[in-house]
A = this chain, B = another copy of it.
Amino acid sequence: MPPVGARIWAIPEGCIPGGIVSSDRALASHEAACILNAGARDAQGTIALLFEDREPIGPYRPTGGAHRTRHLRFNDLADPTPVPRDIGYASLIESSEPIVVQHSRLDSRDPHIARLSIIAWTQG
């Protein structure tokens, strides 16, 4: 199989609610990037977060093993700094290897859950 994926991905919309809305991790409001590395080499990633009214932050440096998928919660990012809550952000992801990126949100503030998901955008 040829390499599957691309090395640069963009997600324009993101926002993590600030309040604790559920003690159940599976159903707590969160945002995640699901990263598929279908190739035979481990991938080194770099994530930058961009905002409306302040300088970008990052880089975050996740890794993604060969023949693995990784479910990365933005809520859990800590180094170099946690993601600000209740503020819109965009994500720019670069990878040393071809990957495919899907972005998902679970919003449980309703109190009923709403989900959304997109394949992130790449230059194609």
Taking a contact as CB atoms under 8 Å apart, the answer to whether B100 and A12 are in contact is yes
Residue in contact with A4 in the complex, picked from B8, B35, B105, B113, CB distance below 8 Å = B8
A123 within 8 A of B: yes
**Contacting residues, chain B, for A109 (C-beta < 8 A):** 27
Chain A, interface SS category:
strand
Taking a contact as CB atoms under 8 Å apart, the answer to whether B88 and A71 are in contact is yes
Taking a contact as CB atoms under 8 Å apart, the answer to whether B102 and A11 are in contact is yes
Interface residues of A in 94-124 (CB under 8 A from B): 94, 100-102, 104-107, 109-110, 112-121, 123-124
- A2 and B123 CA atoms in complex are apart in Å by 10
Residue in contact with A69 in the complex, picked from B34, B52, B102, CB distance below 8 Å = B52
